[in-house]
Amino acid sequence: DQQVKQNSPSLSVQEGRISILNCDYTNSMFDYFLWYKKYPAEGPTFLISISSIKDKNEDGRFTVFLNKSAKHLSLHIVPSQPGDSAVYFCAAWDGNNRKLIWGLGTSLAVNP
């Protein structure tokens, strides 16, 4: 029973366009959310995070939006580049149980 759901296993986008990766969660008590990026044959690397007290965090081409009422967050990449092609994991921090809960990932392909 996934508490953090990334419902799109894959996404394909043209270079220069916006990539939007979505993540839904079930526990309203999650208080911090993170995105990690993973290239083949490498471990995940931290990309960007957001606290539950905020609704937006931006870092260069990457912006994460949080909609607490909908229990939904999204990662926007603008403009998308071929080097962004990777698997993106959404993770949520459950402070009560002291666990980081991971989604299954979304594979993004940015086509030249």
Nearest-angstrom CA–CA distance, 78 and 62: 7
Collect all residues with Cβ–Cβ distance below 8 Å to 87 and sequence separation of at least 6.
37, 38, 39, 105, 106, 107, 108
Site string for other proteins, 35-74 (x = CB under 8 A): ------xxxxxx--x-------------------------
Report how far Cα 38 is from the mean position of its chain's Cα atoms. 11
Site string for other proteins, 76-95 (x = CB under 8 A): -------------x---x--
Q: Which residues bind other proteins (CB under 8 A)?
A: 32, 34, 41-46, 49, 89, 93, 98-100, 102-105
